[in-house]
Amino acid sequence: MWFKQLTAWRLPDISKISNIGLLNNCLHECRHKPITEMSWNSIGFIPMLNSSSNTDTYALKVQDTVRICLKIEEKVLTSSMIRGVVDEKIAFIAQQEDRKVGRKEKAEIKEATIDELLPRALTKISTIEAVIDLKNRLLFVNNATSSKAEIVLNCLREALGGLAANRLLVNTPLTRIMTDWLLAGHVPHSFIFDSDCELKGVGDSAPTIRASNQILTDDEIINHARDGKIVTQLGLQWRDNVKFILSQDFTLKRIQFLDSIQEDAAQDADNFEQARNASQILMTDALSTLINEIAEIAGGWLENQKDEFTGQLFS
């Protein structure tokens, strides 16, 4: 219900998303289907639990927020597992027939081995949720790993027939902003330091310093920045609502929604569905507000980005 990590994009055009009926139909067309014996994976959207509706709800709209969920099934069949079986078969042929196995035959053996092992391979199942803030035109994915988060975005693009999206880029690099905060010993606006920090030196072999459960205003920590290291991750708290680690690529890790905001979500809720809807609204509002505050401190959003998928300029 509450996100633990975050990758976000800005959306220049939300017309396909704001039409909730169209969005739901598009996601239904790209719904998850059970993985087959000979498939490596199966990826698709799954319905959100919605007790007030008898129909499949793939896009759960609550006020100006929309929640979706992607399911990923992947066969666990590593290259080392395949190589072990292939090597055994090649060795058996070489011994039994007293000959060297050629490159083409090795490739055929490998292909046949994969076909043999794939139906019996274990399946890894995961889900990734995302929330769209229609008011602020932001897409939030509950994953800070770029490759995983982009799966959700790419599947959404495929379902909608295209969707312009831009990474969170600001005019002043976050490494400079976070380093300046550490050197100054305080954070502006509604933020305060938490207790984690990562600093990196300059150069290929420069050391990385990680501080955990530390007072970040102590000289022991700040001196690393004074010596020229830059801050690449910084633990922060926003108001009395959220703790998180801000990374240089504007992803958020180890997000903790504090008691105050969770109590607000539960206050007027009589059942699970009402509590979930309230948390969706409050979580999305908090994430949008704190991200926009960071962007403001960093000199605003970097405009005129060209979307890598559509080529559309975002200004």
Give DSSP secondary structure letters for the chain. ---SSBEEEE-S--HHHH-HHHHHHHHHHTB--PPPTT-SEEEEE-PBP-TT-SS-BSSEEETTEEEEEEEEEEEE--HHHHHHHHHHHHHHHHHHHTSPPPHHHHHHHHHHHHHHHGGGSEEEEEEEEEEEETTTTEEEES---HHHHHHHHHHHHHHHT----EE--BSS-HHHHHHHHHHHT---TTEEEEEEEEEE-SSTT--EEEE-S--TTSHHHHHHHHTT-EEEEEEEEETTTEEEEEETTS-EEEEEE-HHHHHHHHHT-SSHHHHHHHHHHHHHHHHHHHHHHHHHHTTSB--SEEPTTT--EE-
Specify whether 147 is located in the same domain as 22. Answer: yes
Mean pLDDT, rounded, of the chain: 91
pLDDT digits (tens, 9 = 90+) for 100-123: 888 998 898 898 888 888 888 888
pLDDT digits (tens, 9 = 90+) for 59-78: 999 999 999 999 999 998 88
pLDDT band at residue 37 using 50, 70 and 90 as cut-offs = confident
Is the per-residue pLDDT at 265 higher than 90?
no
Is the per-residue pLDDT at 81 higher than 60?
yes
Domain for residue 209, yes or no? yes
Specify whether 28 is located in the same domain as 152. Answer: yes
Is the per-residue pLDDT at 51 higher than 60?
no
pLDDT for the residue numbered 92: 87
pLDDT digits (tens, 9 = 90+) for 208-264: 999 999 999 999 999 999 999 999 999 999 999 999 999 999 999 999 999 999 988
Average pLDDT for residues 158-186, to the nearest whole number?
96
**Residue that is last in its domain, among 167, 200, 232:** 167
Specify whether 71 is located in the same domain as 85. Answer: no
Domain for residue 1, yes or no? no
pLDDT band at residue 315 using 50, 70 and 90 as cut-offs = very low
Q: What is the pTM of this model?
A: 0.88
Domain for residue 97, yes or no? yes
Domain for residue 270, yes or no? yes
Count up the domains in the chain and report the number. Answer: 3
Domain for residue 2, yes or no? no
Strongest mean pLDDT among 145-154, 260-269, 296-305: 145-154
What percent of the chain is modeled with pLDDT above 70? 94
Specify whether 103 is located in the same domain as 22. Answer: no
The single residue listed with the structure tokens 């794939």 is: 118
Domain for residue 260, yes or no? yes
Average pLDDT for residues 71-100, to the nearest whole number?
89
Domain for residue 247, yes or no? yes
pLDDT for the residue numbered 308: 53
Specify whether 11 is located in the same domain as 149. Answer: yes
Specify whether 276 is located in the same domain as 159. Answer: no
Specify whether 20 is located in the same domain as 46. Answer: yes
Is the per-residue pLDDT at 177 higher than 60?
yes
Dist CA 206 CA 214 (whole Å) = 22
Specify whether 230 is located in the same domain as 255. Answer: yes
Is the per-residue pLDDT at 52 higher than 80?
no
Specify whether 95 is located in the same domain as 205. Answer: no
pLDDT band at residue 272 using 50, 70 and 90 as cut-offs = confident
Specify whether 189 is located in the same domain as 237. Answer: yes
- Note down the domain range covering 100: 79-119
- Evaluate the CA torsion angle 232, 8, 237, 2 in order and state its sign: negative
Specify whether 306 is located in the same domain as 217. Answer: yes
Specify whether 68 is located in the same domain as 185. Answer: no
Domain for residue 206, yes or no? yes
